[in-house]
């Protein structure tokens, strides 16, 4: 059976819950052939981040070249880009592939509070990379840094989306995982507002939710779904993964979500 392809450009999480590892699991469980470009290697587990080693930019460049010149891809997910130099090399490469949908997760800080992105890289991402994205997926703290707003309500999330759309992405998805009540996400394309509601699940095991969600959106886009439908399916995927997280019970800190849950519930329909 022919499979759609998705590429993740992100950091490695040795604990397997976030980053490249979460992305490849998500691609596989959604029936998509995954490739990867590793930007940084982190020594990480459910308790925190203990070391970060950035991959030399020429090696990042060659990984992108190796994947796209031979295998190709139907969608790209971008996660951790820790330095300005890494943002530059990724931007330069992706400028050549304007027809491929790009989901850009502007990862800034790990669950435990460790920074994953240098300050000058934030400006570079805003200035150079946002305009290449089909959709950007900031969480509330990221949207606050990017817009300098304080975000406490859905109305505040909408104000942030209005500012972020001006930076050039085709759409902005502000994720409400950090809201107090509902885990609602808001999509804005400059004209239309779409709300993706989600019940808040009470668990400490949410390591990698943002990575898993953005790679699920990329997988669904790779299969040819429209953005709205891709997000709807990805939201269902992440909700189930969070719901099943306590069953996995990995590590003693913030454990990973349960990537298998969606396939378990949906059967092979998950691959369509
Ligand atoms: N406790 C929860 N219950 C239900 N849904 C949640 C919960 N936490 C996050 N989500 C959902 O998970 C998705 C990822 O959102 P979140 O805001 O957690 O991203 P993130 O903070 O970037 O993740 P990460 O911290 O892993 O990088 C969103 O759809 C969000 O609404
Ligand atoms: C390599 C890498 N990329 C992204 C995250 C963010 O995920 P989380 O906020 O759940 O820790 C992470 N921890 N590690």
- Mean pLDDT of all residues belonging to the chain: 96
Centre a 10 Å sphere on the Cβ of residue 30 and count the other Cβ atoms it contains.
27
Q: Is 81 near ligand 2, meaning CB less than 6 Å away?
A: no
User: Is the pLDDT score of 112 beyond 90?
Assistant: no
Q: Which ligand is nearest to the CA of 175?
A: 1
CATH number of this structure's domain 5-271, picked from the four choices 1.10.1060.10, 2.60.40.10, 3.40.1190.20, 3.90.1150.10: 3.40.1190.20
d(CA 134, CA 76) in angstroms, rounded, equals 10
Quick check: helix, strand or coil at residue 25? helix
pLDDT range class, residue 34, cuts 50, 70, 90:
very high
Catalytic residue numbers? 175, 206, 208-211
Q: Provide the pLDDT for residue 60.
A: 98
Helix ranges (DSSP H) in the chain: 19-29, 57-66, 84-94, 119-124, 140-147, 154-165, 209-222, 227-243, 245-248, 261-266
The predicted-structure confidence for 134-180, as pLDDT tens digits, reads as follows 999 999 999 999 999 999 999 999 999 999 999 999 999 999 999 88
Task: For residue 208, report the distance from its CA to the centre of ligand 2, in Å.
Answer: 6
Reference 207, options 174, 149, 153, 255; nearest CA is: 255
């Amino acid at each position: 059976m022919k499979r759609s392809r998705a590429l993740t450009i992100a950091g490695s999480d040795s604990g397997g819950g976030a980053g490249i590892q979460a992305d490849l699991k998500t691609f596989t469980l959604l029936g998509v052939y995954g490739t990867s470009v590793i930007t940084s290697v982190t020594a990480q587990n459910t308790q925190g981040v203990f070391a970060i080693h950035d991959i030399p930019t020429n090696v990042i460049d060659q990984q992108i070249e190796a994947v796209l010149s031979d295998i190709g891809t139907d969608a790209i997910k971008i996660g951790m880009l820790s330095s300005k130099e890494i943002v530059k090399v990724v931007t330069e490469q992706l400028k050549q592939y304007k027809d491929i949908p790009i989901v850009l997760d502007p990862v800034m800080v790990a669950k435990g509070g460790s920074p994953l992105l240098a300050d000058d890289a934030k400006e570079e991402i805003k200035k150079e990379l946002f305009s290449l994205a089909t959709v950007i997926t900031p969480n509330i703290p990221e949207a606050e840094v990017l817009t300098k707003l304080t975000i406490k309500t859905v109305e505040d999330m909408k104000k942030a989306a209005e500012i972020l759309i001006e930076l050039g992405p085709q759409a902005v998805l502000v994720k409400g995982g950090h809201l107090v009540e509902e885990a609602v996400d808001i999509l804005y394309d400059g004209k239309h507002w779409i709300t993706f509601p989600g019940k808040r699940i009470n668990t400490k095991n949410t390591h990698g939710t943002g990575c898993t969600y953005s790679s699920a959106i990329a997988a669904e886009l790779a299969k040819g779904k429209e953005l709205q439908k891709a997000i709807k399916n990805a939201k269902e995927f992440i909700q189930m993964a969070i719901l099943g997280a306590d069953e996995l019970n990995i590590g003693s800190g913030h454990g990973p979500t349960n990537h298998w849950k969606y396939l378990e519930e949906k059967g092979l329909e998950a691959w369509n």
